[in-house]
Structure 1
Amino acid sequence: MKKMLGEERRLQILAQLKKSNTPITGTDLAKFANVSRQVIVNDITLLKARNEPIIATSQGYIYMHQDQLYQTVERTIPCFHTPEEAEDELMVIVDCGGTVKNVIVEHPIYGDITASIMVSNRHDVEKFVQRVSETQASYLSALTGGTHLHVISAPSVEILDLIEQNLQKKGYLVTDQ
């Protein structure tokens, strides 16, 4: 297969992302374009710089279509738990119908550090936790002793309220003391 060049490759990557309903890994895009994964990372960066709504998640790249951008509500929720409880916390959120968009921790040197998670169902959570385990990576909340924020999206405010209630029941919600 012939290697795709520059702008043609970026247009093809964009077309692939737009037609996919699931995340596409950098490795899969690299195979499709017959280039290295690093070339794909650079292409995605260039596409984002053009304001293409591409999100990098732990499962791959997602193109956020306009209708997806406006049919949800978001809330930033403060959480606290041990690394062993991370999977349960994420399951609580997705079981209520929420999507965990990211995690934010406050670092003493770098300020806020944000990482995309983008899990919306049990399968996504299991894959995310498996990748953390396989790579022997630490959760970002390890930098702050378990305290972190999640930006959570859901179809309604009522679902966000339900998520907060269930996190509080589990003891994962940071509340005023």
Structure 2
Amino acid sequence: MDAQERRLRVLDILKEGERVRGTELAKALGVSRQIIVGDVALLKAGGVPVISTPRGYYLKKEPRGYLRTLVCFHKRRRTAEELRLIISLGGMVHNVSVEHEIYGSITANLEIKNKNDVDDFIRRMKMKRAPLLSTISGGIHSHLIETKGEKEMDMVEEGLRKAGFLYEDRQVRL
């Protein structure tokens, strides 16, 4: 199969709706993971709404719920606590963003929907010894959060406030 056919096959696989790791796509199509990375980049450049996460690729879907961006602050050791709190209150964490003095806003997709996603994210960060994106901004970061409705979002925001995670609350526990 030529490159164009392979990219169409990648798109067909992503249209099935499940998140797929690059290594799985590479194996299914008989190419290297790096070829898949390039194919996904070309699909994105062509306007295909492919989302890349540490847990794989998928096609972006329109949010079904209520969205709000909340600015947070904490040290690395409280990352799991913050994410688990959001999930426990009915939120989904779409991304994390920080402000960089040279590059401006830098955003990474997280797509954390449940406790298993939180545990997987924390495990991978520890295993890779990767710094959090928020180290760029001294711990200040924002999350795009989705809930079923405004009431649930208010609960997430209040929970983060009480736990000392909201940046507006300068009584931050470190």
Same fold (TM over 0.5): yes
**For 1:10-50, what per-residue CA distance to the aligned partner results, in whole angstroms no more than 9, with x for missing partners?**
111111111133x2111111111111111111111111122
Residue type matched to 1:41 in 2?
Answer: V
> Shift of residue 143 of structure 1?
1.6
Kindly indicate whether residue 12 of structure 2 is the aligned counterpart of residue 15 of structure 1. Answer: yes
Matches within 5 A, 1:110-121: 110-121=103-114
TM-score if structure 1 supplies the norm length?
0.90
User: Runs of 4 or more off by more than 3 Å in structure 1?
Assistant: none
> Shift of residue 74 of structure 1?
1.3
Kindly indicate whether residue 36 of structure 2 is the aligned counterpart of residue 40 of structure 1. Answer: yes
TM-score if structure 2 supplies the norm length?
0.92
Residue type matched to 1:79 in 2?
Answer: C
Residue type matched to 2:82 in 1?
Answer: E
| Aligned equivalent of 2:67, options 74, 81, 95 | 74
Q: Which runs of 5+ in 1 are unaligned?
A: none
Q: What's the counterpart of residue 96 of structure 1?
A: 89
| Aligned equivalent of 2:55, options 59, 65, 68 | 59
Q: Secondary structure at the match of 2:154?
A: helix
Q: Which runs of 5+ in 2 are unaligned?
A: none
Kindly indicate whether residue 165 of structure 2 is the aligned counterpart of residue 172 of structure 1. Answer: yes
| Distance in 2 of aligned mates of 1:150 and 1:133 | 21
Q: Secondary structure at the match of 2:167?
A: coil
Kindly indicate whether residue 18 of structure 2 is the aligned counterpart of residue 25 of structure 1. Answer: no
> Shift of residue 72 of structure 1?
2.0
| Distance in 1 of aligned mates of 2:139 and 2:119 | 20
| Distance in 2 of aligned mates of 1:164 and 1:34 | 46
Q: What's the counterpart of residue 149 of structure 2?
A: 156
| Distance in 1 of aligned mates of 2:85 and 2:63 | 24
| Distance in 2 of aligned mates of 1:91 and 1:51 | 33
| Distance in 1 of aligned mates of 2:86 and 2:66 | 14
